[in-house]
């Protein structure tokens, strides 16, 4: 019963997100923008008739919205909510990290030279490359679905629609979803591997909310009219470079000269390259559906799932059941592997049983973060490093996937205790001997290995801990079993690109400072704002125990500094994982 309730709840949430989540094509804002563009088309076609009743009849004709074909779309959309949850998202989630590791291991094996810095504009190049690879892979999957007879039997489900409405978009067979999910996963993993390997820099897609900026503009530009009776063109010039709604409507035509045309998603140049581009003439006749009345074979949601198997294996009826069961098994395995998530990524917030379940589900990597208790001037609390690294390690573990986080080790070397040196000259600082710190790291790692973790990443937020961490890692590396791995994540602190980026923005090294300066203060403002004493920042003079122009710190700068740390650490760990994969192979 609990499983049934969970499934119903997941489907309800999935359906609700289609209209409330910006990442969905049917987000209410995108539907509203489509409605506004439809109104412009209505005014154009009716000679500026401002009648709302007339507009409603224009947008919602009964012959479209209440047709049998549309009812198939509606029922298929509800059922396919579960199928997409079961297959499409897990397919990308599984394929992407595995192909990313394979790509990085191949580049490592080839020993290709990598740059030690990221050239100016490389972030824009990454963004453009990601957009292009996603768009091409979707086009290529669509192209294969039309040109490969076996795949066409499944893609017919989408083309069997005899009228178009926004829900027709989701009339896609699971085989289509799997193909597209795999291609997008492979393409994006390859591009990310190339940029991460050669430039060793954190990269991210530019987004607004949860949607990248190109798709955001595209969805606002009437994407939902692609599957509708409202013909919207971007004009003869833009239609040469972008796939407009009317071009996609022609793609659904069963007239022979329209076959296999306009298969792109956003850009038209893939169709130009493959000679499948077609700009329809004004009011060109379009006949929706499949030729020879074949659409009748897809007259229900059940038929949409089963008929393709019957057509793909006409002589072997048992294959229909076998393939359908195989898809369900694949989806179930995918969902089981990817849907498990512990209540928290932090070990200290889990029970022993929840940790055991995480290990069984594949969470065999763990980050050991180290912080420190040290003075940070008059304006930042002693626990600065803990506040920062707890934030960054959480994000790093989330990006890596199937990775947990050990409690932050706060007792680290801070200098001689007596007579005091360095930070120990300020009240509140706590220091331990380096050999003690090393032993704590070693025993922490050995404890985790004992429980079944196989990949351990030691990562520190304080410069005074670096040497001892490296010694501990070297000792552990000589003791662990062949299937166990240890990594000192040095790029997090030493090679994160923060200073170089700040200097590019015009800051001097004197202004940037070092301890408790502009960088540190900005990071804490973003990660743990309550740890910064705002009243002390107003004193624009050198604070005892701090360096640099710390009063120029701000949360926006802090978010950038944190992102650079997170990206550098994630990239280093991904490269190390790729080497592990290469060694196994």
Backbone angles phi, psi at 431, to 5 degrees: -125, 145
Q: What is the pLDDT of residue 196?
A: 78
228 against 49, higher pLDDT = 228
Q: What is the pLDDT of residue 539?
A: 66
- Sequence-distant (6+) residues with CB within 8 A of 60 are none
The residue-averaged pLDDT of 552-559 equals 91
The residue-averaged pLDDT of 106-127 equals 76
DSSP letters along 516-545, please?
TSHHHHHHHHHH-GGGB-HHHHTS-SPPTT
Angle at 174 between CA 168 and CA 177, to 5 degrees: 80
- Label residue 206 exposed, middle or buried (CB < 10 Å: 0-12, 13-18, 19+): middle
Q: Is the pLDDT of residue 444 over 90?
A: yes
The residue-averaged pLDDT of 255-261 equals 94
Residue that the structure tokens 């490969």 belong to: 148
Q: Is the pLDDT of residue 477 over 50?
A: yes
Residue closest to 96 by CA, chosen among 20, 168, 170, 193: 193
Cα 416 from chain centre: 45
Residue 585: which pLDDT band, with cuts at 50, 70 and 90? very low
**pLDDT tens column, 513-555:** 889 999 999 999 999 999 999 888 776 555 688 888 888 899 9
Q: What is the pLDDT of residue 88?
A: 56
Q: What is the pLDDT of residue 3?
A: 52
DSSP letters along 28-93, please?
HHHHHHHHHHHHHHHHHHHTS---HHHHHHHHS-HHHHTSHHHHHHHHHHHHHHHHHHHTHHHHHH
Q: What is the pLDDT of residue 316?
A: 59
Residues above pLDDT 90, as percent of the chain: 52
Angle at 342 between CA 340 and CA 344, to 5 degrees: 145
Residues above pLDDT 70, as percent of the chain: 84
Q: Which of 157-166, 253-262, 329-338, 451-460 shows the lowest mean pLDDT across its residues?
A: 329-338
Strand residue runs (E) in 426-484: 455-460
Backbone angles phi, psi at 251, to 5 degrees: -60, -30
Q: Is the pLDDT of residue 335 over 50?
A: no
Q: Are strands 211-212 and 207-208 parallel, antiparallel or unpaired?
A: antiparallel
Residue that the structure tokens 């400072």 belong to: 513
Q: Residue 154: how many CA atoms within 13 Å on its side-chain side? A: 22
Q: Residue 102: how many CA atoms within 13 Å on its side-chain side? A: 12
Q: Which of 27-36, 59-68, 80-89, 342-351 shows the lowest mean pLDDT across its residues?
A: 80-89
Residue closest to 214 by CA, chosen among 271, 292, 314, 132: 132
Q: What is the pLDDT of residue 221?
A: 92
Q: What is the pLDDT of residue 195?
A: 84
- Total residues belonging to the chain: 585
Q: And the tokens for 415?
A: 């200098």
Q: What is the pLDDT of residue 325?
A: 54
**pLDDT tens column, 290-310:** 998 899 999 999 899 899 988
Q: What is the pLDDT of residue 205?
A: 64
The residue-averaged pLDDT of 471-485 equals 88
Q: Is the pLDDT of residue 268 over 50?
A: yes
Distance CA 441, CA 472 (A): 7
Domain ranges within the chain, ordered by starting residue: 58-334, 347-584
Backbone angles phi, psi at 67, to 5 degrees: -75, 160
Residue 336: which pLDDT band, with cuts at 50, 70 and 90? very low
**Packing angle between helix 518-527 and helix 555-584, nearest 10 degrees?**
90
6 against 199, higher pLDDT = 199
Residue closest to 451 by CA, chosen among 545, 521, 357, 318: 357
- Label residue 508 exposed, middle or buried (CB < 10 Å: 0-12, 13-18, 19+): exposed
Residue closest to 564 by CA, chosen among 500, 515, 487: 500
Distance CA 167, CA 72 (A): 10
Distance CA 28, CA 460 (A): 44
Angle at 340 between CA 336 and CA 341, to 5 degrees: 165
CA distances for 236 relative to 128, 215, 251, angstroms? 25, 21, 17
Distance CA 215, CA 25 (A): 9
Is CATH 3.30.70.60 correct for 347-584?
no
Backbone angles phi, psi at 340, to 5 degrees: -65, 135
**pLDDT tens column, 494-511:** 889 999 999 988 999 998
**pLDDT tens column, 359-417:** 888 899 999 999 999 999 999 999 999 999 999 999 999 888 889 999 999 999 999 99
Residue 87: which pLDDT band, with cuts at 50, 70 and 90? low
CA distances for 315 relative to 213, 304, 307, 309, 538, angstroms? 48, 19, 13, 11, 81
Distance CA 79, CA 417 (A): 67
Residue 571: which pLDDT band, with cuts at 50, 70 and 90? confident
Do residues 159 and 252 touch, judged by C-beta distance below 8 A? yes
Q: What is the pLDDT of residue 286?
A: 94
Q: Is the pLDDT of residue 346 over 70?
A: yes
Residue closest to 211 by CA, chosen among 197, 201, 223: 223
Q: Is the pLDDT of residue 328 over 60?
A: no
Q: What is the pLDDT of residue 334?
A: 47
**pLDDT tens column, 183-205:** 988 898 888 888 877 876 656 66
CA distances for 549 relative to 39, 222, 540, 554, angstroms? 55, 48, 8, 11
Q: What is residue 10's DSSP assignment? A: H
Q: What is the pLDDT of residue 315?
A: 64
**pLDDT tens column, 22-78:** 767 888 899 999 999 999 989 888 777 788 888 999 999 999 999 999 999 999 888
Claim: this prediction has a pTM higher than 0.75: no
Helix or strand holding residue 208 (H, E): strand 207-208
Alpha helical stretches, state H, 111-242: 122-147, 149-159, 174-199, 213-220
Q: Is the pLDDT of residue 122 over 90?
A: no
CA distances for 284 relative to 46, 232, 251, 426, 450, angstroms? 18, 13, 12, 81, 70
Do residues 238 and 218 touch, judged by C-beta distance below 8 A? no
Q: What is the pLDDT of residue 582?
A: 38
């Amino acid at each position: 019963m609990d499983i049934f309730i969970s499934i119903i709840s997941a489907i309800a949430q999935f359906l609700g997100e289609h209209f409330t989540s910006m990442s969905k094509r049917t987000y209410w804002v995108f539907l509203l923008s489509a409605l506004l563009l439809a109104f412009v088309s209505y005014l154009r076609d009716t000679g500026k008739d401002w009648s709302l009743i007339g507009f409603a009849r224009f947008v919602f004709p009964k012959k479209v919205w209440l047709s049998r074909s549309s009812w198939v779309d509606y029922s298929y959309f509800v059922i396919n909510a579960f199928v997409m949850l079961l297959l499409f998202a897990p397919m990308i989630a599984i394929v992407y990290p595995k192909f990313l590791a394979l790509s990085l291991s191949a580049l490592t094996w080839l020993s290709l030279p990598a740059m030690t810095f990221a050239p100016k504009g490389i972030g824009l190049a990454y963004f453009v490359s990601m957009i292009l690879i996603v768009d091409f892979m979707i086009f290529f999957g669509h192209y294969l679905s039309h040109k490969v007879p076996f795949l066409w039997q499944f893609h017919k489900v989408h083309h069997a629609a005899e009228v178009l409405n926004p829900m027709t978009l989701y009339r896609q067979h699971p085989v289509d979803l799997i193909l597209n999910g795999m291609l997008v996963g492979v393409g994006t993993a390859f591009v990310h591997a190339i940029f991460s390997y050669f430039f060793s820099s954190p990269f991210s897609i530019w987004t607004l909310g949860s949607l990248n900026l190109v798709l955001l503009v595209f969805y606002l530009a009437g994407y939902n009219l692609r599957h509708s009776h409202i013909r919207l063109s971007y004009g003869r010039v833009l239609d040469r470079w972008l796939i407009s709604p009317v071009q996609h409507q022609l793609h659904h035509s069963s007239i022979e000269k329209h076959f296999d045309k306009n298969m792109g998603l956003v850009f038209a140049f893939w169709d130009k390259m493959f000679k499948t581009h077609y700009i329809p003439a004004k009011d060109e006749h379009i006949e929706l559906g499949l030729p020879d009345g074949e659409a009748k074979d897809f007259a229900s949601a059940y038929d949409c799932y089963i008929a393709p198997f019957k057509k793909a294996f006409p002589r072997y009826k048992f294959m229909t059941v076998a393939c359908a069961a195989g898809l369900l098994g694949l989806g179930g395995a995918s969902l089981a592997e990817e849907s498990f998530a512990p209540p928290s990524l932090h070990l200290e917030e889990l029970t022993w049983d929840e940790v055991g379940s995480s290990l069984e589900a594949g969470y065999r990597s763990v980050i050991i973060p180290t912080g420190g208790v040290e003075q940070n001037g008059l304006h930042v609390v002693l626990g600065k490093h803990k506040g920062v690294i707890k934030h960054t390690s959480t994000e790093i573990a989330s990006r890596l996937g199937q990775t947990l986080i050990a409690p932050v080790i706060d007792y680290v070397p801070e200098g001689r205790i007596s007579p005091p040196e360095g930070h120990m000259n300020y009240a509140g600082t706590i220091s331990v001997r380096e050999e003690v710190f090393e032993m704590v790291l070693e025993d922490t790692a050995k404890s985790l290995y004992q429980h079944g973790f196989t990949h351990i990443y030691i990562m520190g937020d304080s410069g005074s801990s670096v040497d001892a961490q490296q010694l501990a890692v070297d000792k552990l590396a000589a003791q662990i079993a062949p299937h166990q791995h240890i990594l000192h994540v040095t790029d997090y602190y030493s090679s994160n690109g923060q200073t170089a980026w700040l200097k590019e923005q015009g800051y001097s090294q004197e202004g940037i400072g070092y301890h408790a300066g502009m960088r540190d203060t900005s990071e804490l403002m973003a990660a743990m704002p309550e740890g910064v004493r705002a009243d002390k920042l107003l004193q624009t003079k050198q604070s005892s125990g701090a360096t640099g122009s710390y009063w120029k710190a701000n949360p926006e700068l802090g978010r950038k500094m944190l992102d650079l740390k997170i990206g550098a650490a994630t990239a280093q760990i991904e490269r190390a994982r790729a080497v592990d994969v290469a060694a196994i192979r």
